[in-house]
Copies of this chain bind each other. A is one copy, B any other.
Amino acid sequence: MKKVSLQDIAAELGVSKTLVSLVLNGKGNEKGISRDTQKKVIKLAGKLNYNPNQMARSLRLGSSKTIGLIVADISNAFFSHIARSIECEAGKRGYNVMFMSSEEDADKERKMIQILQDRRVDGLILATSFGNRDEIQKLRDEQMPFVLIDRFIPGVKTNYVIVDNHKGACALTQHLIEINYNRIALFKISPSHLLPIKQRTEGYKEALRKHGIPVRNNLIREIAFQNVREEIEKNLKDLILNHGIQAVFFLNNNLTVAGLEVLNKFNLRIPQDIALASFDDIDLFKYAYPPITAISQPHEDIGIHAVRILLNDIKTKTKGFKKQLVLPVELIVRRSCGAFLKQTDSTTIHDVHVS
């Protein structure tokens, strides 16, 4: 069943493609096309179930109404929620999204950017892996509309939407201190030049300093991406046996999940034996045992703002003016740090808002 084209309609009606196109694009009145002709065209288009070939339209108009999304992994809850939000916000404005998972691999990311550009997407939303400073700079030089999410490249002025990593980590650490922990271990992920990780680490340190607690570097552990589970086990054992830690703060959800597993394996009770907290809140944490205190990030807002900034750039073709957004995070106090030990129903705990 061949798709019906403008030509088909024009031929059947004995008019020109021009006319049909004009009418169907709502420019009939503006161009003074007779009411009668307009009606005929619209009627036949309906009957034939005509729908314009968007590819042809895009080629002609130079706009694909498509945005490309590159994240580390679409199946990761953090990114899939952002993706949903992007899809939704973009959809409202007539844009659809093509997604790709770069696996934090700068090389793959580079190829994906190329593919998306060849497909002539109107814009890009990227959770860029760190290796691609040059690539990002190139995008900027090419005037390709794009916005970074979750991370940005220091020194390269671009649009970005991130969260207040520093404040969040600081607030969570402070919370731990207020409950009376002072030997708090910190786990971060290995490419520690990843910006969010750096900022979170700084937040942790600042909270300690503010409370006159010395920053002990041997309580800060960096875990290689490859072998999270085992590395955490090894390090946690050392920290517990040799450094008397009372609490542990994981800087992203992967680390937290692995840490939870290890502590269970050690048969340690949370928070009686050790307190646990996470940067990044995922569904899991609410229903884990015990429910986990975490900094939650505004997935939906990240997506919405990224799309708005992007579409605005696309529309106005603003070159140079860059928007930088730092969204507030939220400290969600649950039971994993012992603050509400007597509490049995986590749903009644009030959230504490940060900024």
Contact = CB atoms under 8 A, between A and B. Distances in A.
A76 B75 CA distance: 9
A25 to B, nearest CB: 14
A81 B87 contact: no
A230 to B, nearest CB: 12
Contact of A84 (B64, B75, B257): B75
A267 B284 CA distance: 19
A59 B51 contact: no
Interface stretch (A113-121, A238-246, A304-312): A113-121
Counting contact residues on chain A (CB < 8 A from B), the size range is 35 or more
Contact of A345 (B117, B265, B290, B346): B265
Nearest to A290: B289
A296 to B, nearest CB: 15
A55 B53 contact: no
Nearest to A94: B115
Interface in A119-177: 119-120, 141-143
Interface stretch (A15-23, A95-103, A198-206, A320-328): A95-103
Contacts of A81: 75
Interface in A54-98: 54-56, 58-59, 64, 66, 73-77, 80-81, 83-84, 87-88, 91, 96-98
A190 interface: no
Interface in A287-330: 287-290
Contact of A75 (B83, B96, B347): B83
A79 to B, nearest CB: 8
* Copies of this protein chain in the complex: 2
A52 interface: yes
Contacts of A118: 51-54
Given A59-B59, A96-B119, A267-B344, A114 B51 contact: yes
A30 interface: no
A97 B75 CA distance: 14
A352 interface: no
Contacts of A91: 100
A77 B79 CA distance: 11
A105 to B, nearest CB: 13
Interface string A253-290: 00001001100110100000000000000011011111
A99 B97 contact: yes
Interface string A214-245: 00000000000000000000000000000000
Contacts of A119: 54-55, 96
Contacts of A88: 101
A1 interface: yes
A98 B68 CA distance: 9
A53 B99 contact: no
Given A257-B287, A260-B287, A283-B284, A120 B74 contact: no
A74 B98 contact: no
Given A84-B101, A99-B99, A288-B289, 16 more contacts: A51-B117, A51-B118, A54-B120, A55-B58, A73-B84, A74-B84, A76-B80, A87-B101, A91-B100, A96-B98, A261-B347, A264-B287, A284-B284, A284-B287, A287-B288, A289-B289
15 contacts: A52-B118, A66-B98, A75-B77, A76-B80, A77-B77, A77-B80, A80-B80, A80-B83, A96-B119, A97-B99, A99-B99, A257-B283, A265-B347, A267-B344, A289-B289
